[in-house]
Structure 1
Amino acid sequence: MFRKILIPTDGRGLEDHVIKYVACTFPLAKFYVISVVETKVRGIHLTTILQKKLEENAMEAIEHAAKILLKEGIEVEEKKILYGDPPAKIISYAEKNDISLIAFRCFHTHIPSLKLGGTIEKVLKKTQIPVLIMGCEIEGGMLESILIPTDGTHGSQNAENLAIHLAVSFGAKLTALYVAKGKEDERGDAVLKNIKWKGKQRDVEVDTLLKQGDPAEEILKEAPKHSILIMGAGRKGLLRNMVLGHVSREVAPLSPIPLILMRGRYKI
């Protein structure tokens, strides 16, 4: 179960469904709400008048989020306005406060090429903290079924560990999906056998699916049958910086269910 959840808000009211979802699904967590005021745009410092207006908007956004949480019976642990580059400030705050989940809203779309948004992508590339992304309005509550697409890589294995932990916490059904890109792909059986073994160590029975085709398409076909989707976020680039994987990039804005992306080890 997540111990501390961070909600970054921009005051547009678009993340209301995300706030309600995490409050209902993880009611025992401590909640932190922040809003980041950019002090300069494209290298140009903002005027005092404009910055003051942005501060007012930020405070309104924070109070709005706090009211939603209060309606769900949750008192916010901390409300804070930060100043600077949004992705950097979100990551810094999350790490200093030992946050275990960052919750974002994403624009749900039927256009596969649509980007997640600059802030979300930058946060995903530079933090090992799990990130929840929601573009759909879904009521929170008990997680009954978890889908974990996996390819056996290090990033996928970290996501597997989180999925198994959540399955234990909620008593949820866990389904592992491996999508082979062609008939010559023989890794699937071994990958699925491994996650079944990992689940058994925690008394979790893992159902497995082995399919062929485009990974993103197959994941999106299977997703509606489950409560939540958990995936590895990406891979190392040429300069060892994190690159958001093309599969997670395609799935995120199209997912019909909440999605958690992660690349680091989950701290239970």
Structure 2
Amino acid sequence: MYDRVLVPTDGSECADHAIDHALDIAAQYDAELRVLSVIDSRDVSHSAPAISPNQIEKTLRERAESVVEAVAERAEEAGVRVVTAVEAGIPDDVVVEYAEDSDCDLIVMGTHGRTGLERYLLGSVTERTVRRSSVPVLTVRGVNGEKGN
């Protein structure tokens, strides 16, 4: 049923909880785990004037690469085939496009569990991905319903 499972991660506890689920699913179905971290291009373009956008992107890319490599190590320890990627762009756009381009069968994403006005004002990468994806999306709330950062 699942040959390629995509798990986007930003290194948060919420994403980490989703990774647990994605690893379990990938192991059960002998599927390849695709680990994606997205450098939000809006974070780079809205940087402080004293810091060059190139330096900010470099720092964010190094952090993202570290995050996906940590997940890759967990996958390898669990005997799950893994492919990592770091992309730049608008997170939900990148996740949806990556899933389609990589022929992923499932996206597993954490959700911060925001409600009401907070969700309306902040929006949600997960929510936008669910609405736009042609691939099924499994959403995983943070441990004990945590709201994350």
Q: Please classify the TM superposition score into its range, dividing by the shorter chain length.
A: 0.7 to 0.9
| Alignment of 1:30 onto 2:32 | yes
Larger RCO: 1 or 2 (CA < 8 Å, sep 6+):
2
| Alignment of 1:53 onto 2:38 | no
| Alignment of 1:134 onto 2:140 | yes
Residue identity matched to 2:87:
L
* Residues 15-26 of structure 1 aligned to structure 2 (within 5 Å): 15-26=15-26
Q: Distance in 1 between matches of 2:106 and 2:130?
A: 12
1:118-157 Cα deviation digits (max 9, x unpaired): 211221221121101111549xxxxxxxxxxxxxxxxxxx
Asked whether the 8 Å contact 1:19–1:68 carries over to 2, the reply is no
**Secondary structure of 2:14's partner?**
coil
Q: Distance in 1 between matches of 2:143 and 2:70?
A: 18
Q: Given the superposition, is the C-alpha separation of residues 101 and 117 from structure 1 closer, same or farther in structure 2, using an over 3 Å criterion? A: farther
Structure 2 residue ranges without an equivalent (≥5): none
Q: Given the superposition, is the C-alpha separation of residues 121 and 42 from structure 1 closer, same or farther in structure 2, using an over 3 Å criterion? A: farther
Q: Distance in 2 between matches of 1:122 and 1:94?
A: 14
Structure 2 equivalent of residue 69 of structure 1: 75
Larger radius of gyration: 1
Structure 2 equivalent of residue 158 of structure 1: none
Taking only aligned residues, the RMSD between alpha carbons, in angstroms, comes to 2.7
Q: Distance in 2 between matches of 1:56 and 1:127?
A: 28
Q: Given the superposition, is the C-alpha separation of residues 99 and 25 from structure 1 closer, same or farther in structure 2, using an over 3 Å criterion? A: closer
Asked whether the 8 Å contact 2:40–2:91 carries over to 1, the reply is yes
The share of aligned pairs that are identical, in percent, is 26
1:26-73 Cα deviation digits (max 9, x unpaired): 411111111111233496476111111101110011011112212222
Structure 2 equivalent of residue 219 of structure 1: none
TM-score (norm 2): 0.78
1:54-94 Cα deviation digits (max 9, x unpaired): 01110011011112212222130x21111111111111111
Structure 1 residue ranges without an equivalent (≥5): 139-252, 255-268
User: How many residue pairs get matched?
Assistant: 137
Q: Distance in 1 between matches of 2:86 and 2:11?
A: 12
Structure 2 equivalent of residue 81 of structure 1: 86
Deviation at 1:105, TM superposition (A): 0.8
* Residues 236-251 of structure 1 aligned to structure 2 (within 5 Å): none
Q: Distance in 2 between matches of 1:38 and 1:137?
A: 25
